[in-house]
Amino acid sequence: MKRDELAACLGPDNKVYAIGGYGGGDNACLSSAERFDPSNGKWELIAPMKEARRALTAVALPDGIYAIGGYNGKEYINTVERYDFFTNEWT
């Protein structure tokens, strides 16, 4: 998916995660996320975040991927969401 100002990180599952950003068909803040599996060369969408955000950062820890801060299209935010690899959910 087309995205700019995204966060990216390498997960503990050795997949590359591309999270949020700015773009898509309407050039808005994105809540979508996807991951790239280098073993098969394919991208797949994962569950979207609860809140769209761009200009965020992400960090991978053993218990999930954390999407931190960013801009939601109206204001800069100071919230964090965690992606759970096993349930494919953001909390």
CB-count burial class (<10 Å; 0-12, 13-18, 19+) for 60: middle
pLDDT band at 1 (very low <50, low <70, confident <90, very high): confident
Task: Give the residue with greater pLDDT, 79 vs 23.
Answer: 79
pLDDT for residue 48: 98
- Predicted structure pTM score: 0.92
Taking the C-alpha atoms of residue 38 and residue 31, their distance in angstroms, rounded to an integer, is: 23
Q: Let me know: does 58 contact 7? Beta carbons within 8 Å.
A: yes
